[in-house]
Structure 1
């Protein structure tokens, strides 16, 4: 069986198990491009696999992501007798490069929005990027989820978003704050009336100057330029600069901090936050919870209350 046919069969199994598997498919597609998609699967050598894994960049966690995707794929192949053995290295290099999510402050957001004044992009209008940033900051949506929203998914009267066919083929409802409802309402009226395109329920919420739906890569590039212009930079020695995806971590941390400040039962509410974010487990949510200074302060205060109560008893 050729590599491309084996990948197709494997992805059918992934989809049947209720997972989109976009990241896995991305790695396998790059692998097929590297070794040749019409290659017989059994002819691929360990040396070729190792060369693909190592690439030409410094070791990072992406090496392990590629290794994990290929390992699962070749286990699928060996279970069906498509290959005699798994052509992956048995030992994996240790990588100490942990990416720490960046938590945007309110000042960061203000600077990003202010930097949009006078900003010009070929396809992405400043007002579109503004509303998208505020939506991600205020709801914790994934970028892909936000870009796939249609007008029919926006119920401003009920202050609710419908997020359809998410990462795990689930649909969920996301409540909106009053201020965000107003921002979306003004955007829909202004943008969809100013661009000469037919508007209907399945029209995308976010549109480019030419009326098309923005791409994730285009938005990320526009945001990188905006972030640089606003001077929102990391000063913790991290290799990566703040990403648009870090709005998701920011939402989670701010929500948790607020619960601590309100004296809420955080352990009981954490599963609700996980569901709100569309995670399959609480463990997935914990990845988005770096200990920001504000969160550390609130956690310390809570711990102090518990210690005081223990001493009294």
Structure 2
């Protein structure tokens, strides 16, 4: 007899073969499976799912509960076909909330300040690496993990083309960059090769130890740079994140299109592809990140229906 744990492991393996990362999803699902084993349950029930989803001593956030229950619901739909006794938690078992964190949109002055304060980092090569990383994120909108994942062969300094491999959705894409960006990357590469003439990694961006930058260890240094640049979050908002550089890039691109009266509807698929989104819906979300962008979009919509600004 196949256990729920075996079913869960096979399900996750199948999804991962299809290109899904399932990092937090997998952790939550296996946590639920462990809970069932601890209670001696051999059948997935709605009651067990609800109890597990809301058993979070450190949090009473209903959004968090709802997301935990959603993990169980998705798996239960799969398991039901294999184990008919499985209960699928109904959609209204918990209030369903969807909340995305309001991003911090960096101003040009804040970006300039961030780049300048990288000079406080020691040794000097660490400062150069951070200066290059922040600049690259700001002008390309790459995810932090994508920038850290670039190999030397992925950075074509002749054609000005970055090849981003094994992205969030398991696909690769090519990202063209401006000649000024290529020049900055070439300058960094020369300094890196002087520091590490016998590299121990194929990574393009490297740490002072000569290893690939670890995206998970970057937030602490970034917080230090934010403080040095005197960049703070607005009232009631969380501290700016490295990922907000991606939001800033996307929002700035959309703003420029609207200001220049471009056909945003026609151009949006280009931005979707450039950012590596799975579909344009993810890109459309950036419209809600800036009051100015919302206003421009609303004005454009009003014009399209024959209204007046």
TM-score (norm 2): 0.84
Residue equivalent to 1:259 = 257
Distance 1:311 1:29, change over 3 A: closer
Stretch deviating more after TM superposition (287-296 or 160-169):
287-296
Q: Which has the higher contact order (CA 8 A, sep 6+)?
A: 1
Q: Within 2, Cα distance between the matches of 1:303 and 1:30?
A: 46
Contact 2:53–2:65 (Cα < 8 Å) also in 1: no
Residue equivalent to 2:229 = 230
Contact 2:36–2:42 (Cα < 8 Å) also in 1: no
Residue equivalent to 1:211 = 210
Q: Within 2, Cα distance between the matches of 1:189 and 1:44?
A: 60
Residue equivalent to 2:61 = 59
Quote how far apart the aligned CAs of 1:193 are.
2.7
Residue equivalent to 1:8 = 9
Contact 2:45–2:87 (Cα < 8 Å) also in 1: no
Q: Within 2, Cα distance between the matches of 1:62 and 1:197?
A: 47
Quote how far apart the aligned CAs of 1:215 are.
1.9
1:237-248 correspondence runs (5 A): 237-238=236-237, 240-248=238-246
Instruction: Kindly report the root-mean-square deviation, in angstroms, between the aligned alpha carbons of the 2 structures.
Output: 3.3
Q: Within 2, Cα distance between the matches of 1:269 and 1:144?
A: 26
Distance 1:225 1:36, change over 3 A: farther
Contact 1:163–1:171 (Cα < 8 Å) also in 2: yes
Unaligned runs of 5+ in 2: none
Contact 1:77–1:83 (Cα < 8 Å) also in 2: no
Q: Within 2, Cα distance between the matches of 1:44 and 1:255?
A: 47
Q: Within 2, Cα distance between the matches of 1:242 and 1:138?
A: 17
Contact 1:2–1:40 (Cα < 8 Å) also in 2: no
Unaligned runs of 5+ in 1: none
Residue equivalent to 1:163 = 164
Contact 2:287–2:294 (Cα < 8 Å) also in 1: no
Contact 1:234–1:241 (Cα < 8 Å) also in 2: yes
Are positions 1:138 and 2:139 aligned together? yes
Contact 1:161–1:173 (Cα < 8 Å) also in 2: yes
Quote how far apart the aligned CAs of 1:31 are.
4.0
Residue equivalent to 2:175 = 174
Residue equivalent to 1:295 = 293
TM-score (norm 1): 0.83
Distance 1:28 1:109, change over 3 A: same
Q: Within 1, Cα distance between the matches of 2:79 and 2:280?
A: 32
Helix, strand or coil at the partner of 1:174 = strand
Helix, strand or coil at the partner of 1:117 = helix
Distance 1:180 1:47, change over 3 A: same
Stretch deviating more after TM superposition (221-230 or 172-181):
221-230
Contact 2:44–2:87 (Cα < 8 Å) also in 1: no
